[in-house]
Amino acid sequence: MNVLVIGANGQIGTRLVRKLKEAGHDPKAMVRKEEQISQFKNEGIDTVLADLEEDFSHAYNGVDAVVFTAGSGGDTPKSQTQMIDRDGAIKAIDEAEKAGVNRFVMVSALKANRDEDSWSEAMQHYYEAKSAADDHLRNTDLDFTVLMPGRLTNEPGTGKVELSEYIEDIEGRNITRDDVAAVITEMIDSPVTFGKSLELLQGETSIKEAISGIS
């Protein structure tokens, strides 16, 4: 499968393009700066130079699926968060529809799908942006998955997760970026995840089993 990774230079994106390639897919890394191209080219990964603030429709040429993993982070100004996490994501969804690319995975955030009372004041703008983009995706006819990982860490992946439409016990729990990338790689061509919004945390179930257990 030819997979466009938007935000390929980010911490999840970098891991994801490598895992997709290892799994036999053909990732296309979308990057914003010329100097970001070489790290992927050196690993034999196709790249495309494109900017979410400009016309990036050319990035969708020959693509079967899109993963949106670009993000401003919770500590960036509200305007930047709206531009990337809301407006950029919505543009990416619209471009997928125009290009006839049906499979779309959105990397969102845990709590984006929950009551606003659970959002801290400092993070409210971040969750608002994520929630708006997620809702836009849910209102399309695309084969979408909204993936909502919890607090991200850079520890080595364990291959064991909890993946569900609603996780009861979320406080104090994390998920490694390695495991987020591994889950996306495993679910990219898995119809059981189509039309689902899934929360993701470290757990006790293998990734393959966790995905196959989605109903």
Residues with a catalytic annotation lie at 126
131's enclosing H/E stretch is helix 124-138
DSSP type of residue 123: G
DSSP-based three-state secondary structure for 169: coil
Residue pair 187/161 in contact (Cβ under 8 Å)? The answer is: no
Paired strand residues for 6:
30, 68
Q: What is the spatial distance between Cα 115 and Cα 195, in angstroms, rounded to a whole number?
A: 21
Neighbours of 9 (CB within 10 A): 21
Q: What is the spatial distance between Cα 41 and Cα 61, in angstroms, rounded to a whole number?
A: 18
Question: Token digits for 46?
Answer: 């196709």
Residue type, 16: L
